[in-house]
Amino acid sequence: MAKIDKSKTDFFLFGGEESFGYLPVSFVRDKDSLSSALLLLEILTEKKDLFNYMDEIYLKYGLFQESLKSLTLEGSAGKEKIRKSLESLRTLDLLGKKIHHRKITGILDYKTQIAKGNASKSAFSGCPSSDVIQVILEGNAKLTIRPSGTEPKIKIYSSFQSLKAPKSKEEIKILTKDLLSEIKTSEEIFLQLAGLS
């Protein structure tokens, strides 16, 4: 963060984590609730209604949804199954295959630091080796799989943009439902590919 603060070309926009910690400003070094609450109050002062503001963002930039799916696999057998599933994914020829409606266009393996397809090795810059595989799909979507560091779980993080841009607030509701359904199906297919379903 200090390096970004000193940079003349880079700047900090926003930080977040899966457990809903947010860092909306660079001068606070921890994802605390106070800085997030202040940002929320500022938005409410300007926009009055958070739902309408979110709709404005979707209409301007497109519809995005994210999901976290965890699968618990207890004991040493579960730990071994998680290890084998990730190693199996590493050996599969996934480029060009489809997960639901979207073609796989790139793969990032953070353990081996190998980038395939249209994935860029620059994604590894500053990242230590980690047992994480990210599958990049056409249409600005990705599925990321990794074992939990603290629990007997494997986690899939999904980040998808709708293939269709909403043109009205009414359409946002329909497309959100469709996109969440697509994510759920894609996660199930990804678990099958990993040998976990």
Return the pLDDT at 39.
78
Greater model confidence, 9 or 70: 70
CATH architecture of the domain with range 63-193: 2-Layer Sandwich (3.30)
CA 184 to chain centre: 14
E-strand spans in the chain? 15-16, 22-23, 64-72, 98-99, 102-109, 114-117, 133-137, 141-147, 153-161
Kindly list the domain boundaries of the chain, sorted by start residue. Answer: 2-48, 63-193
For range 42-54, the mean pLDDT:
85
pTM of this prediction?
0.84
Q: Which residue has the tokens 């779980």?
A: 153
Residue range 90-140, pLDDT digits in tens: 999 999 999 999 999 999 999 999 999 999 999 999 889 999 999 999 999
pLDDT on residue 10:
65
Q: Which residues lie across from 53 on neighbouring strands?
A: none
Predicted pLDDT at 18 = 65
Token pair of 104, please?
């796989």
Give the chain's mean pLDDT: 89
Q: For residue 1, what pLDDT band results from cuts at 50, 70 and 90?
A: low
Q: How far apart are CA 165 and CA 61, in angstroms?
A: 8
